[in-house]
């Protein structure tokens, strides 16, 4: 883990962290661990994330400790654990979800296997007055757990309950130990901010000390200290993260010492390369090069179907292309180090902290990159910041607002939006709808799922998004996603899955569909109503048109959870007609699945 003082070592990239955090979040492998730290920072208090079993001696100068949620069960051997001595430090401790169960388990309470998990919205009823729940009576909360605390430890009181969790919140005021079964860090928990505020300020007595704009000069100092007399070589994507990381280096080191190379992977959206070139001109970049690597990436993806195999191939190809460029340009002479725009969530979702379940491999954390990190040849100035903090840094640096407002785009590009299939298969009619045997990735109870898709006959509606789709993904264990039919050239039960891999022709179809959607969004104003709008191509259709397009407009704060956004039906009908004019496209569907249980991207 990153050392608390943040000094750059050969094992860790530059993190930009300098002070001692007031609050430490102990990571038991939950997908939302970093979100907790982020929420505390939003309150203006410096928080960091450390391994769950960090020795108590290293945490005694903290004002508060939060134990995160995680996918494990305290009832199973080898589960992530804490140093129990932290519970006797006199430092206030808040356990969240798995952390709540861990507190009960260590202090003599009882944890039981739930009969079935509880995922989604629940109602919290406050049953006793307590500083943690001060100002709250009854409120909407968000649950994602399997086990439950059935008996609180001696010294604890139940302070809140929900329909299915008798002990939704517990407190031992004397020892200042608290546990909550629900997640205060996700936006769906109405009073989440209030609870964290109560903990951080009233219980821990933390002070305001975190302000992103004050961090910028410190990060620049760290860049200079890490880079020393070397130059920085940046692979930029035109996305917000690498652009801001690049600009930080540009400011810290001057335009002569910072090189930007944009690798054209052939997996980008229409017009992207020209746009990125104009962005870097505007930023004042002196050395900006475009490298055409399209054939190399397509060869690496040839014949692959499985998402993780595709992600690995792209990650490894990035490293190979980087090595080729570094060798041809004589960048390996010791005077160069590589810059990356990696941010916190990129490291957690790759299992970057010790215990997180692997949901998806991010391309900037594959083995080749890891070995460069170990060799001290990578600088990642944004690795301790979150997306909205990165935008704030960008504003501080004067990066034009139109760049900062760009929707996020995944590193592996359109390859993870162009689904492949290794066998021919038919759609399967069920009482619930039509099962399409194409698999997509999801996330449920902190763990990865890879399941089929259920297509509904009717067009998307609010009821389908809020009620029908969640009920189906909760009930059926063979699917993790539900889509609605916007328009087809053939009845959906007659659709077939065709064997398909990544080809230039399929990428061009996807690029066309994506450009049609983007153009529609920009002219209709829908662009500003969504946080991201992936367009996905699946090899589903009939002999005359073997592809279907999936529309996935979502809203999100940070990409960790997401809500489906419903498009007005007249606009959707127009858009569907335009997409069906692409000869190869047989059907258009609308993804009705929130995250969880679906991920934002399909792979
Ligand atoms: P998921 O699909 O995991 O996506 O719900 C969450 C957010 O992360 C983006 N994403 C990526 N970004 N490299 C990136 O830089 C990746 O490999 C990657 N995979 C997903 C995704 O677009 C969404 O905004």
CA 410–ligand 1 middle distance (angstroms): 5
- Reading the block at residue 105, the tokens are 């388990």
Asked if the model's pLDDT at residue 3 lies above 70, the reply is: no
Q: Which atom of ligand 1 is nearest to the CA of 598?
A: 5
CATH topology of domain 23-203: Rossmann fold (3.40.50)
Q: Which atom of ligand 1 is nearest to the CA of 556?
A: 24
Asked if the model's pLDDT at residue 19 lies above 80, the reply is: no
Question: How large is the average pLDDT for residues 374-387?
Answer: 86
Q: How many residues does the chain have?
A: 603
Residue 6 contacts residue 47 (beta carbons within 8 Å):
no
pLDDT of 9 reads 31
Q: Whose CA is nearest to atom 19 of ligand 1?
A: 410
Domain 215-413 has CATH 3.40.50.2020: no
CA 421–ligand 1 middle distance (angstroms): 21
Mean pLDDT in the chain? 90
Please tell me the distance from the alpha carbon of residue 85 to that of residue 74, in angstroms, as a whole number: 18
358: CB partners within 8 A, 6+ apart: 350, 351, 448
Query: For 91-107, what is each residue's pLDDT tens digit?
Result: 999 999 999 999 999 99
Q: Whose CA is nearest to atom 6 of ligand 1?
A: 559
> Which of 269, 283, 337, 294 lies closest to 511 in space, CA to CA?
269
CA 238–ligand 1 middle distance (angstroms): 15
H helices present in 52-198, as ranges: 98-106, 192-197
CATH topology of domain 417-591: GMP Synthetase; Chain A, domain 3 (3.30.300)
Question: How large is the average pLDDT for residues 438-462?
Answer: 93
> Taking the complete model, does pTM exceed 0.85, yes or no?
no
Q: What percent of the chain shows pLDDT beyond 70?
A: 92
Distance of CA 399 to the CA centre of its chain: 24
Asked if the model's pLDDT at residue 8 lies above 60, the reply is: no
CA 315–ligand 1 middle distance (angstroms): 14
Fold equal for 23-203 and 417-591: no
Task: State phi, psi for 407 to the nearest 5 degrees.
Answer: -65, 145
pLDDT of 2 reads 30
> Which of 555, 353, 550, 572 lies closest to 453 in space, CA to CA?
550
H helices present in 257-335, as ranges: 272-283, 294-301, 307-328
Query: For 65-92, what is each residue's pLDDT tens digit?
Result: 999 999 889 999 999 999 999 999 999 9
Comparing 115-124, 260-269, 301-310, 349-358, which segment has the lowest mean pLDDT?
349-358
β pairing state of 258-264 and 287-292: parallel
Please tell me the distance from the alpha carbon of residue 6 to that of residue 98, in angstroms, as a whole number: 28
The residues that are catalytic are 97, 183, 185
CA 137–ligand 1 middle distance (angstroms): 37
pLDDT of 5 reads 33
Q: Whose CA is nearest to atom 22 of ligand 1?
A: 410
Query: For 389-437, what is each residue's pLDDT tens digit?
Result: 999 999 999 898 888 988 989 989 999 999 999 999 999 999 999 999 9
Asked if the model's pLDDT at residue 600 lies above 50, the reply is: yes
Residue 146 contacts residue 445 (beta carbons within 8 Å):
yes
Question: How large is the average pLDDT for residues 187-195?
Answer: 94
Asked if the model's pLDDT at residue 232 lies above 60, the reply is: yes
> Which of 5, 27, 130, 64 lies closest to 354 in space, CA to CA?
27
Query: For 112-121, what is each residue's pLDDT tens digit?
Result: 987 667 778 8
Query: For 305-353, what is each residue's pLDDT tens digit?
Result: 999 999 999 988 988 887 788 777 766 567 888 898 988 767 655 444 4
Q: Domain segments of the chain: what residues?
A: 23-203, 215-413, 417-591
pLDDT of 335 reads 85
Q: Whose CA is nearest to atom 4 of ligand 1?
A: 600
Asked if the model's pLDDT at residue 14 lies above 50, the reply is: no
Question: How large is the average pLDDT for residues 125-143?
Answer: 95
543: CB partners within 8 A, 6+ apart: none
Q: What percent of the chain shows pLDDT beyond 90?
A: 73
* Ligand 1 first shell, C-beta below 6 A: 346, 349, 360, 362-363, 408, 410-412, 532, 559, 595, 599-601
Asked if the model's pLDDT at residue 582 lies above 80, the reply is: yes
Please tell me the distance from the alpha carbon of residue 191 to that of residue 135, in angstroms, as a whole number: 9
Q: Whose CA is nearest to atom 10 of ligand 1?
A: 410
Query: For 483-525, what is each residue's pLDDT tens digit?
Result: 999 999 999 999 999 999 999 999 999 999 999 999 999 999 9
């Amino acid at each position: 883990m990153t050392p608390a003082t943040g000094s750059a070592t050969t094992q860790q990239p530059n993190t930009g962290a300098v002070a001692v955090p007031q609050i430490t979040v102990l990571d038991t492998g939950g997908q939302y661990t970093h979100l907790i730290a982020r929420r505390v920072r939003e309150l203006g208090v410096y928080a960091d994330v450390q391994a769950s079993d960090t020795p108590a001696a290293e945490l005694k100068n903290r004002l508060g400790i939060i134990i995160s949620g995680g996918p494990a069960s305290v009832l199973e051997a080898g589960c992530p654990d804490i140093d129990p001595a932290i519970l006797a430090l006199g430092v206030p401790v808040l356990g969240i979800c798995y952390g709540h169960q861990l507190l009960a388990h260590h202090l003599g309470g009882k944890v039981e296997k739930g009969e079935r998990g509880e995922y989604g919205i629940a109602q919290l009823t406050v049953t006793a007055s307590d500083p943690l729940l001060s100002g709250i009576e009854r409120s909407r909360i968000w649950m994602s757990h399997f086990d439950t605390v059935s008996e609180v430890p001696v010294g604890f009181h139940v302070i809140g309950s929900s329909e299915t969790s008798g002990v939704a919140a517990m407190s031992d005021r004397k020892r200042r130990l608290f546990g909550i079964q629900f997640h205060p860090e996700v936006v769906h928990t109405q009073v989440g901010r209030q609870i964290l505020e109560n903990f951080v300020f009233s219980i821990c007595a933390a002070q305001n000390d975190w302000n992103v704009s004050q961090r910028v000069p410190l990060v620049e100092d760290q860049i200079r200290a890490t880079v020393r007399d070397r130059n920085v070589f940046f692979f930029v994507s035109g996305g917000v993260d690498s652009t801001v990381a690049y600009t930080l280096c540009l400011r810290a080191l001057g335009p002569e010492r910072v090189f930007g190379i944009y690798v054209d992977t052939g997996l980008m959206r229409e017009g992207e390369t020209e746009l990125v070139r104009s962005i870097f001109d505007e930023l004042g970049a002196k050395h900006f090069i475009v490298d055409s690597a399209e054939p190399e990436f397509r060869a690496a993806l040839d014949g692959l179907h499985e998402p993780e195999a595709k992600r690995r191939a792209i990650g490894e190809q990035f490293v190979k292309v980087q090595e080729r460029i570094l060798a041809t340009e004589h960048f390996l002479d010791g005077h160069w180090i590589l810059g990356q725009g990696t941010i916190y969530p990129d490291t957690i979702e790759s299992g970057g902290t010790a215990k997180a379940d692997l949901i998806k491999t991010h391309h900037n954390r594959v083995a080749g990159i890891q070995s460069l990190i170990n060799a001290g040849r990578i600088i990642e100035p944004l690795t301790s910041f979150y997306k909205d903090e990165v935008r704030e840094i960008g504003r501080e640096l004067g990066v034009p607002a139109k760049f900062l407002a760009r929707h996020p785009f995944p590193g592996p590009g359109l390859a993870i939006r162009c689904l492949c299939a290794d066998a021919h298969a038919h759609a399967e009619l069920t009482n619930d709808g039509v099962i399409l045997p194409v698999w997509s990735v999801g996330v449920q109870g902190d763990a990865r799922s890879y399941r089929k898709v259920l297509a509904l006959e009717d067009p998307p509606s609010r009821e389908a998004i809020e009620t029908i789709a969640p009920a189906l993904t909760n009930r059926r264990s063979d699917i993790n996603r539900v889509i609605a039919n916007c328009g087809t050239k053939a009845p959906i039960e007659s659709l077939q899955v065709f064997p398909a891999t990544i080809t230039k022709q399929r990428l061009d179809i996807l690029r066309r569909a994506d450009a049609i959607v983007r153009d529609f969004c920009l002219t209709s104003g829908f662009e500003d109503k969504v946080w991201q709008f992936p367009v996905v191509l699946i090899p589903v259709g009939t002999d005359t048109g073997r592809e279907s397009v999936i529309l996935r407009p979502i809203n999100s704060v940070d990409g960790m959870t997401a809500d489906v956004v419903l498009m007005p039906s007249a606009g959707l009908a127009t858009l569907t007609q335009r997409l069906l004019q692409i000869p190869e496209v047989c059907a258009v569907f609308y993804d009705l699945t929130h995250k969880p249980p679906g991920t934002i991207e399909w792979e």
